[in-house]
Structure 1
Amino acid sequence: MQKKSLVRNFIYNLIYTGLNLLFPLITAPYVSRVLGATNLGKVNFASTVVNWFVLFAAFGVTTYGVREVAKIKKKGKDLDKLFSEIFIINGVLSIIVTIIYLYVIFNVKEFNSEFSLFLIMSLSIILNMFSIDWFYQGIEEYRYITIRSTVFKVISLICIFLFVKEEGHYVIFGLISILSTSL
């Protein structure tokens, strides 16, 4: 594996962080105007609820994964074993938390009024199990992370302008926002 340039990784990480800050600045005015405060609030509330579950599903896997991968990134067989172990732990936790989340949204009556929105938001927990950014950060592949993130942000920006046209499209906006952040 070639030696990664600290300056190059810094620049990619700067671009990645900048895009994460810029994307909401572009979309927020449009989405706020089209969806209105009430529907945007529904999406934000559902996002907040599901993010609590994602927090438990991730259970420190990202931090642990980056640290451990960085320690042994040059040891191929050990790296494969570590990746598999962390991926399985993340997968099992995500499945357990998804089941708990589904139980909650089916049984708590406050979530029934926006059931489809909360159900779509569960994709965030499910897709969490396939998130391997921790691996790419550990092997210092910031270029890949930045390019992938940029592509999905541009696609989601286009989808927001194409498919979110009226107040009732807040569930579609929820789906687009979950897919853009999780993929």
Structure 2
Amino acid sequence: MFRRIISHRVFKNSFALFIMQLFSYVSPLLVLPYLARIMSVENFGMLMMLYSLLAICLVVTDFGFNLSGTYYISRNYKNKKKINEFLTSVFCIKIILSTASVIFFLVFFRGEFQRLDKYSVLLIAITMFVQSFQPIWFFQGIEKMRHITIYTALSKLIYLLLVFLFVTSDSIVTVLLCYCISQMVGTFFSICFILKMKYSFSRTTYKNIISVFRQSIPFFVSRVAVVVYTSANTLFLGKYGGMAQAASYSSCEKIYFAGQSLLNPLSQAFFPYLSKNRDAKFYIKFVILSVCILSVICAVASFFVYDFLNIFYGQKYNDSIGILNTFLITTVIAYTSVSFGYPMYTLIDKIGYVNHTVIIGAVIHIIGLFILAKENIFTAQNIAYLVLIVETSVLITRVFLYTYLKIKRV
């Protein structure tokens, strides 16, 4: 079975996505210890809040195309005309959403970041716009993941080098400039790859743009719901718990996200494959095997959390041990939940129900945030506990709902 897995096309695509995510999150993880040491806790917390804001903006401008776009292109991969029209429609929508996001930030969020100078604000606005046009969903749909790996690796390596070469003081604006340049490079090369593969931005219609927009709304709603209990937490902590709490939480959250990013390609690569081939037995065996391996890894890692934090971030962040241990448990739960999401539900043609489970998770998280605020216990550790509760709730809901729908279908 092992030989069959590693020789499978899905494994090759998963491996390419794995390498992409490795660069996406390992490069920042190499940078963060350096920044945590040369920056004050307050400025480091502020920087983490800004990165969270950019992550939220990316979800808005992506508008669920990482799922709906992948699904559409994988179903029409032989029809280049349809793909070109879809590609153009998506980019038109992204231009509108990116512009709206920048305006919204300049008008409404400027007051939340009064300590930022005008250059930092400008760099955030430019990054918001530029990062929106990296079409990972396109390459996933045509199952050419190595192209994603190449431009992502290049982008992240540039970010890594720029930070180590030019960030030598407690300066937020210099870090933002490095990040902005790296995003520009990634976007430029991703579009070059599209054109090199003989795809193009063809003429589309207003009707087609509206149709593409409407088809992606359910996926967008689910992604926004996920943001409520992921990227938005650092913003909430910074506002209501202080920059120190935001720094402690985000330092562990980045490690958690890195773990997720290395694991999620496994299910992402299966999504277009299972849309065309209904090989449920192979997928279930793969998930069981990977969950078992992950559980062992996280259990062993829990014994080295103190040493890891001390080496990685320094003694200033030793009080984050409980937070990181909580995230290790959440990693196993979240991976199982993602694996039981779109790939499994596409087998019964009910992928829309996955969005409902995420919304349930968002509602639980919002209720939890209100309780924490009311009881005046809005701390990084309690937010980590809340994320664990939410991810567990989503997993349980998905398993029971899938079982119910499958029985009902029979």
Distance in 1 between the 2:77 and 2:87 partners? 10
Question: Structure 1 residue 56: deviation in Å?
Answer: 2.2
The question of 1:27 aligning with 2:47 is answered: no
Question: Structure 1 residue 8: deviation in Å?
Answer: 2.3
Larger radius of gyration: 2
Query: Alpha carbon RMSD of aligned pairs, Å?
Result: 2.2
In structure 2, the residue matched to 1:127 is 130
In structure 2, the residue matched to 1:170 is 172
**AA at the equivalent of 2:163:** I
- TM-score, normalised to structure 2's length? 0.40
Question: Structure 1 residue 120: deviation in Å?
Answer: 1.6
In structure 1, the residue matched to 2:157 is 154
CA contact (8 A) 2:130 2:183 kept: no
Which of 5, 11, 16 aligns to 1:7? It is: 11
Change (3 A) 1:21 1:96: closer
Which is bigger in relative contact order (C-alpha 8 A, separation at least 6)?
1
Question: Structure 1 residue 68: deviation in Å?
Answer: 0.9
**Structure 2, unaligned stretches of length 5 or more?**
1-7, 187-410
Question: Structure 1 residue 139: deviation in Å?
Answer: 0.9
**AA at the equivalent of 1:156:** Y
Change (3 A) 1:28 1:113: closer
The question of 1:56 aligning with 2:68 is answered: no
Count residues in correspondence.
Answer: 177
CA contact (8 A) 2:20 2:149 kept: yes
**Structure 1, unaligned stretches of length 5 or more?**
none
Identical pairs, percent: 25
In structure 2, the residue matched to 1:87 is 91
In structure 1, the residue matched to 2:70 is 66
Question: Structure 1 residue 136: deviation in Å?
Answer: 1.2
CA contact (8 A) 1:50 1:122 kept: no
Which of 26, 36, 39 aligns to 2:40? It is: 36
Distance in 2 between the 1:161 and 1:10 partners? 30
CA contact (8 A) 1:58 1:94 kept: no
Distance in 1 between the 2:68 and 2:91 partners? 12
**AA at the equivalent of 1:176:** C
Question: Structure 1 residue 6: deviation in Å?
Answer: 2.8
In structure 1, the residue matched to 2:113 is 111
